[in-house]
């Protein structure tokens, strides 16, 4: 019985090490050549209060899931990503909230979870700064692009 308890304790200890070990995977970042970003020509500093600052506006221009899922699979191959497509969100480098091009492949990339969810908060904060007038649209777009290319 004692041997069985010792063996069980060893199995649990090894499992705990495997579950809690730091990831050896490098951060996945958008490629500057594959995903440089692209802007929506319908969004300008002059019309932000009719576009990106209108609640629900991004829903009117968001590409359909069928389009983004197919693009995600193609881009995963190009990026050399081998995990499940469910591990990624096909995300806009320049977010729709900041005037990014909705369907341009140069503005979309397979962003890994959980990073994708964290970045959504930053995108919303930048949108709020633009809409309040405390930051220009162009500055917010540059900041978002730089952040995603540097941090993923």
pLDDT at position 119: 86
Three-class SS string for 20-49? HCCCCCCCCCCCCCCCCCCECCCCCHHHHH
Q: Model's pTM, two decimal places?
A: 0.80
CA–CA separation, 10 and 25 (whole Å): 26
Mean pLDDT computed over every residue of the chain: 85
pLDDT at position 2: 59
- pLDDT tens per residue, range 48-88: 999 999 999 999 999 999 999 999 999 999 999 999 999 99
- pLDDT tens per residue, range 22-58: 333 456 788 888 999 999 999 999 999 999 999 999 9
- pLDDT tens per residue, range 99-135: 999 999 999 999 988 887 788 899 999 999 999 999 9
């Amino acid at each position: 019985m004692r041997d069985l308890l010792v063996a069980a304790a060893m199995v649990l200890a090894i499992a705990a090490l495997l579950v809690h070990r730091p990831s050896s995977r490098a951060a996945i970042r958008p490629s500057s050549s594959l995903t440089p970003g692209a802007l929506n020509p319908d969004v300008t500093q002059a019309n932000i209060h009719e576009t990106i600052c209108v609640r629900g506006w991004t829903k009117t221009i968001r590409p359909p899931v069928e389009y983004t899922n197919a693009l995600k699979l193609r881009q995963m191959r190009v990026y050399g990503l081998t995990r499940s497509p469910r591990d990624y969100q096909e995300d806009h480098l320049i977010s729709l909230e900041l005037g990014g091009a909705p369907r341009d492949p140069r503005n979309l990339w397979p962003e890994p979870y959980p990073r994708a969810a964290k970045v959504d908060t930053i995108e919303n904060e930048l949108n709020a700064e633009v809409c309040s007038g405390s930051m220009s649209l162009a500055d917010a777009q540059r900041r978002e692009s730089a952040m995603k290319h540097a941090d993923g």
